[in-house]
Structure 1
Amino acid sequence: MPPPDTEPQSQLTHRQSITTKIFERDYVPPNFTIKELRQAIPPHCFERDTLKSFSYVLKDLAVIGVLAYAATYIDSHLPLALRFIAWPTYWFFCGAFATGVWVIAHECGHQAFSPSKTINNAVGFVLHSALLVPYHSWRISHSKHHKHTGHVTKDQVFVPKTRSKLGLPLPTDDPEQMNHSVFEDTPIITLFNLIGQQLLGWPMYLIFNSSGQVYSDRWANHFNPNSPIFDPKNYVNVIISDIGMIIALSAMVYLSYVYSFLSVAKYYLIPYLIVNHWLVLITFLQHTDPKLPHYRESQWDFIRGATCTVDRHIGFLDSIFHKITSTHVAHHMFSTMPHYHAEEATHHLEKVLGPYYIFDDTPIFKALWRSFSTCKYIEDEGDILFYKN
């Protein structure tokens, strides 16, 4: 038996081996400078055009308005069998275009919508509040995510859990990885957990900071101005965001009283859940993939973190989502760049980034299953880490 203050030799050997092998999978991190990357992009790509940005908002809102108006005829003009087709069609496309609105509101939070901070915040506040998002609160936490992407202890969303956090044994103690729950890796349990993430992941993040950075001292959420997510200077903005949420929820209650809760559910709540689904899917796959490293403090810098993201195509929805899925690397490099220039910027960035530009054309739901089922945890030791399962 080892002395009381001495670790078993097997654990020491394992931890030393991890520490020695800093660069997992022979990975060498990039060493570009932000100046080099910016110089590769034409200057006009950084120009923000307020009227052009508004044109995208108006287009999305117009399509949603037409869809909602057309939906008023579903129950009164269609036979029962066709209603079962018409309502899901409305929900799918309304949810998709509302996700586009969400993306533009998110762009406002980055000050990429307009050169005017007032316009950015006014438009973002209205659009995000209408989608039950606390605009400033999320804008603040999302800014911290951009500033520390891929940082194990400072990133704000989809923070990887460590081996010890999950209570997993060391490989030397469980070489066959058999000491797990009997249900843990069964496909049906994985599917159940995945559905839960897609339906409830977004509100759980806002309310309980689920998948976010762990704060040991107190409850972290996006509605309490004293939450550890925020600094004292953010207090008023968090309160303003809460007021926006109260107004939006009050409008829902009023409309439920006037038209019925069922009507609000059919026209708004179900598309809202679809928006949540796409939002979680997009952000999860942008930052959770077996190919992506995560860094601890000694190896992290902004550029290395910004390359910890994946571009993907998502079919015709890519255009409806304003190409947030296929230009996310560029967005992380230069978040004030408007979405309508990001595709051109991506072509130039790709040439400079070379192998550090990650594009994955795996079908989106196959990629979702792969990442969810294989990206379980990272090791407790080491400075550059990849997901393991």
Structure 2
Amino acid sequence: MTAARVLARADELSLHSAWDDGILRAYLTPEQSRVNAIAAAWMREAGLRSWPDEAANVCGRRQIDDDERPALLLGSHLDTVPGAGRYDGILGVLVAIEVADRLRDAELPFALEVVAFGDEEGTRFGTTLLGSRALAGGWQDAWLDLHDADGVSLREAATTFGLIPENIGAAARPPGSLVGYLECHIEQGPRLEDLDRALGVVTTIAAAERRMISFRGEARHSATPWELRHDALLGASEGIVAVERIARDQGSHATVGRIRVEPDAVNVIPGFAEFSLDLRDATANRRDATWGLIRHELQHIAVHRGLDLEFASTHIAPEAPCAPHLREAIAAGIRTTGDESPIDLVSIAGHDAMAVADLTDIGMLFVRCAGGISHHADESVREDDVALAIDALEAAVRHLATELV
């Protein structure tokens, strides 16, 4: 019945939202405080000693692991995007707690810990992986000056939440304190479903970069003849179509999710247009090769239309390969569920594991999700798949225990 309990707990957490219609749970909010308390209680029920760290992550360690041995860390995140589903991140935390419960008295050559990260999505302050980067030693005090949409700084929000802003960096785990990190997560893609597989082994987390791309032309009355126009929005529109064409041809993932136009008037030719570009591929080299082709095409469009063009990078991350021995542990765990040939998958989406990779080796287990839908209220998983995920992650931990003796 542990899978049923996981799904019931996911339902319970979904009730804690800043929105009445849909799920929104952001960093350093009352909603996070409530789910942190609930997760901490579930950790204690599973035989873990639980505590909040300096970055508002919820941590748990087996009661019998009262020594200083390095720990195998299991977990994911509890924050969401606006209008989220119930399982992105949350499933990984709940599966980790179930595995810890099953292993509460097992003899292991390492300590066992669970973490529920407080900020992976970056919904409130625009910078992702704040919780896991703090744990991995990558916290930057400059982030305290980030502001949310209401003008509240991260420093102010942390103080209101009960944190000491200047101490958030103290959440960092010392080098050598972990033997590895395993994260269970919904696939956020359709391959497992297409192949009728419940689980998969993540080989690497894709390299990503986000840019803002702006075209500047000349705002004029809509009566201006075509030959005198320098329409920034037409340039941006042509550029967006080029992004899709080139990324498709190169096998990269590209998304334009935001567009801004000035002066944004019905009868005025736009003098300025800006759009976001989220570009991902299995490696940084492949991502950058696609960007080179896109940039060349954007420059051609700007020259042809008499526009100025600017690029600004807002986020960049290299690929994060999963460690071979942790990939094998995950595969061994999946094999115990009856799948004799576990499928390898590249994660196009980013995860907390990317940040934790700066501290220790990482491994990831993917779980089938209906239609590959994620970051949406229609996010769905099957109870039998969740049961297999719990079994596989437990078996992966036991496999590592035999390998690391």
Q: TM-score, structure 1 length as denominator? A: 0.26
More helix per residue: 1
Whichever structure has more strand as a proportion of its residues is 2
TM-score, normalised to structure 2's length?
A: 0.25
User: Relative contact order (alpha carbons < 8 A, sep ≥ 6): 1 or 2 greater?
Assistant: 1
